[in-house]
Amino acid sequence: MESSSLLLLTDDLLTKARASASGRAAQTVYGGQGHELRQTVMAIAAGRSLEDHESPGEATVQVLRGRVHLTSGDDVMDGSPGDLLVVPPWRHALEALDDCVVLLTVVKSLNA
C-alpha cells in the first residue's frame, strides 16, 4: 500500500509555481506512462493559467486550494476548495484566480 500527503505536496508545489517562469508546477502522484489512470497535483500561481488545450481523455479537476475558472468556449465553471469539476472532452483552459492547487485525474485508454 502507498500513501501521499497532498497537503505537504500542495505547499511545496505552490512554492515552485510562484518561482517558475510559467507560474505552474506539477507532480504525478499515481499512474503515468503505461497506466490508464493518472493523478497529478498541479499548482498554478494567481493570474496564471493552463492555456487552451485538448483533453487527453476523461478527466476531472478537484480543487484543493484557491479558486479556478475552467473554460471551454463560452462556458465557464468556477471551482473552490472541495469542488470537483468534470473536464469537457474538447478544448479547454484552467485559470487560477488565486494561488491554487488542483488534483487532475485523467483516464486514458491504452488502446488510443
In the chain, what are the domain boundaries?
6-107
Residue type, 85: L
Contact between 60 and 105 under an 8 Å Cβ cutoff? The reply is yes
With a cut of 80, say whether residue 32 has pLDDT above it. Answer: no
The model's pTM is 0.89
Distance CA 62, CA 49 (A): 16
**DSSP letters for 68-101:** EEEEETTEEEEE-TT-EEEEPSS-EEEEESSSEE
**Among the ranges given (43-47, 50-54, 78-82), the one the predictor scored with the smallest mean pLDDT:** 50-54
pLDDT score for 74: 86
pLDDT score for 111: 58
Three-state DSSP class for 15?
Answer: helix
Class of the domain covering 6-107: mainly beta
User: Three cell numbers at 96?
Assistant: 487560477
For the residues 29-53, what does the mean pLDDT come to?
88
Identify which of 94, 97, 112 has the alpha carbon closest to the alpha carbon of residue 40. Answer: 94
Instruction: Give the percent of the chain with pLDDT over 90.
Output: 65
Instruction: Give the percent of the chain with pLDDT over 70.
Output: 95
pLDDT, tens digit (0-9, with 9 covering 90-100), for 46-62: 999 988 878 777 899 99
pLDDT score for 35: 74
pLDDT score for 92: 92
pLDDT score for 73: 85
